[in-house]
Structure 1
Amino acid sequence: MKILYLDCTSGISGDMTLGALLDLGVDKDFFLQELSKLGVDGYEVKIQKKDRHSIQMMDVDVILTEQSHMNHENAPEAHEHSSEHDYSHEQQDHHHGYDHDHSHKGHDHHHDHGHSHEGNDHHHDHGHSHEGNDHHHNHSHSNERNLSMIQEIIDNSTISNGAKEISKKIFEEIARAEAKVHGKSIDQVHFHEVGAIDSIVDIVGVAICVAALDVDIIYASTLHDGNGFIQCRHGLLPVPVPAVMAMLEGSGIPMVQEDVNTEMITPTGMGIVKCLAKDYIKIPEMSIDKIGYGLGKRETGRFGAVRAILGTTHQLKSMDAQVE
């Protein structure tokens, strides 16, 4: 039996999970080709190895080009905080000394500020600022994307049926949490976070990778989040943030709060692991076939990555041998 184990002891976000799965060996060209089937343009995906704690990890960065940035600015005010909140984004230089794969959708240029997110899997919200860039965006609220619009994009694509089902399940989980937090029906929630291109890439990207890995079962560790507060558009939110807490509520999923004064679990990450993991346990008995590391953008003083472990259990074969 083929097992995928997600080690979330440093938290979990969309880009961390996607990086870890790609690091397990999902072919990058295949991944980018599948992603292009969504028919969503105006972005660039950079996939590259980076070094943290002297360990090579896979970093995935979704960079919005001018067209998608315009659409992104016109995206809705999804929730009181966007998943992945309106923090200031620290400027990062993308010209690293590593070979990397990237794909342009819609444009072959990029912004100098690159939309790198200092938070794990964080997306823009209205009125965000970039450190090192003296500009400010005024966002309008047209061209809103709600859950049905996201589902339509997925259904109209030619990605595998397995990837479609996983993607839609994750989006619906996040939508239900946001609806609960804001006291709306699921159809009334218009997403900035879920409707943003980078969230679509992260969530559908994870689904593409999981379908490609063709595992029999997925487990995860106990989830670890930080504490304190996160600054958002409407003020301070407690960590774990409300959308994450809504997904944890009544789920039976174990969570530990670490002495880290920031968010370690994002709503996208929470939605992904809740929809994928069958149980939350220590690494099960299995032979280890492959290990992948997905780098987070935030320095927390911890390991700062999702570790994905691909393994095989021979338990059934052993039982068959005993019977014989």
Structure 2
Amino acid sequence: MPLHLHLDPVGGVAGDMFIAAVLDAFPQLADGMQAAIRSAGLPQNIACKLIEHKDHALTGRRFVVGEPDSHTHSGHHPTHEQAVAHEHGHISFATVRSNLTGSTLAEPVKRRAIAIFTLLAQAEAKVHGGTADQITFHEVGSWDSIADIVGAAYLIETLDKHDDSQGTSWSTAPLPLGSGRVKSAHGLLPVPAPATTLLMEGMLVRGDELEGERVTPTGAAILRHLNCSAGIGVHPKRLIASGTGFGTRSLPGISNVLRVLVFEKTEQTHEESRIDHVIALNFEVDDQSAEDLAVGLAHLREVEGVMDVLQIPAFGKKGRMVSHIQILVQPADRDKVIEACFTQTTTIGLRVQSLERQILPRKESAVTAGHYTQRVKTALRPAGIATAKAEMDDLASHANSHAEREALRVAAESIALDKEQSNE
């Protein structure tokens, strides 16, 4: 059965917390992960272990990468770049990528680890200027962070191949935002750190009035790589395991843990709907002429990522007639569409909502009806009932009257439904 893993950032998210939580749920993966981290270049004289841990309320695991023992001689000598990276925590992204590329790490894990580091480098480059290849990691360049990212990459890749399934999906509860300042090689930075903030864009967050860094750059990069959905959704799932990973800090009144809940997806029949997420932009306009607003909304409909534009007449403040505008947008295109709203209309503010929606299985096909090629969208409703809807733009170009359009519509939809039933 395919797996779904839901992350519950009670205390926050960091690379070591992610590894500890996943291994608490899947302890059988610990040895393989350790071997992967070693093959990525972690010297033998640096301890790397999973330990049991408990606080005032919970028990779980911690993932610890220890300091090197200068008196230990294992016969394994790190490269000069690796030694500098550990001692000072300063290493360029180009060096990290080169070391991983040249390592004996399995190729799929290697690609994931490089992808996570690339996300970090791109975020840092945007914050500090320059390109990703010019970025030098500071705190992220230390051995523990390198082990965290490689270990996370191994676990993600291994779980994705679980039981030859369709691939493991991931979701997360809202992330604690944190507050205050955090020390870095660049001095004191606001929490979340600027690079972390960029990586968290589009994710749901919450505030709980606790100070300190709650999501680290490494943790945010892992979440971004996983492309986590917001919440587990409404489709039934079977809870089969859980894991608890502790961070290094202690938080007042709450366990500093990341929990992972492991679900087995139940079989989804062909008539069941699926979960999707969209962004809804809402605003009102009362000082733009109707004809100019119509032009502006027409432009908005053409912006990439816009799924629908709805205009509703309403009464606003002081009894004025207003146009209520709602635009549904793909999450990745939110900022671009917001900018277009401010460009094409007179609104000076809008409301942004992240919505979960249910979508029936559907597909679009082309049929030949009345010597015309007509696009028809079919959808599967509960109990396997199929419905069809002919594309009006095609009907309008093929027929000149209501009666002709109606006849063509009925014929095209009937053909599409017959075709759908014959394919079942």
TM superposition score normalised by structure 2: 0.55
Aligned to 1:33: 35
Paired residue total: 257
| Pairing partner for 1:192 from 138, 142, 160 | 138
Give the Cα–Cα distance (whole angstroms) in 2 for the partners of residues 2 and 282 of structure 1: 12
In the TM superposition, what are the counterparts of 1:222-261 in structure 2 within 5 Å? 222-248=174-200, 251-261=201-211
Aligned to 1:297: 248
**Contact in 1 for aligned 2:139/2:185 (Cα 8 Å):** no
Q: Taking structure 1 as reference, are residues 289 and 319 closer, same or farther at Cα in structure 2, changes over 3 Å only? A: farther
Give the Cα–Cα distance (whole angstroms) in 2 for the partners of residues 294 and 233 of structure 1: 27
Structure number with the higher helix fraction is: 2
| Pairing partner for 1:65 from 68, 84, 90 | 68
Q: Which runs of 5+ in 1 are unaligned?
A: 77-123, 127-143
* Stretches of 4+ aligned residues off by more than 6 angstroms: 70-73
Aligned to 2:51: 48
Structure number with the higher strand fraction is: 2
In the TM superposition, what are the counterparts of 1:145-224 in structure 2 within 5 Å? 145-214=91-160, 215-224=167-176
Q: For structure 1, which segment, 306-315 or 226-235, has the greater mean C-alpha deviation from structure 2 after superposition?
A: 226-235
Q: Which runs of 5+ in 2 are unaligned?
A: 71-77, 161-166, 273-381, 385-423
> Which letter maps to 1:267?
P
Give the Cα–Cα distance (whole angstroms) in 1 for the partners of residues 184 and 100 of structure 2: 29
> Which letter maps to 2:39?
K
Task: Please state whether the residue corresponding to 2:52 is helix, strand or coil.
Answer: strand
Aligned to 1:11: 12
TM superposition score normalised by structure 1: 0.71
Q: Taking structure 1 as reference, are residues 273 and 30 closer, same or farther at Cα in structure 2, changes over 3 Å only? A: same
Indicate the structure whose relative CO is greater, using CA pairs within 8 Å and at least 6 residues apart. Answer: 1
Task: Please state whether the residue corresponding to 2:124 is helix, strand or coil.
Answer: helix
Task: Please state whether the residue corresponding to 2:268 is helix, strand or coil.
Answer: helix
Q: Which has the larger radius of gyration?
A: 2
Give the Cα–Cα distance (whole angstroms) in 2 for the partners of residues 65 and 317 of structure 1: 54
What do residues 59-90 of structure 1 show as CA deviations (whole Å, max 9, x unaligned)?
A: 1110121467x9778339xxxxxxxxxxxxxx
Q: Taking structure 1 as reference, are residues 146 and 274 closer, same or farther at Cα in structure 2, changes over 3 Å only? A: same
Q: For structure 1, which segment, 23-32 or 307-316, has the greater mean C-alpha deviation from structure 2 after superposition?
A: 23-32
Task: Please state whether the residue corresponding to 2:212 is helix, strand or coil.
Answer: coil
What do residues 71-111 of structure 1 show as CA deviations (whole Å, max 9, x unaligned)?
A: 778339xxxxxxxxxxxxxxxxxxxxxxxxxxxxxxxxxxx
How big is the shift at 1:233? 4.7
- The reply to whether residue 75 of structure 1 matches residue 76 of structure 2 is no
**Contact in 2 for aligned 1:220/1:277 (Cα 8 Å):** no
Aligned to 1:288: 239
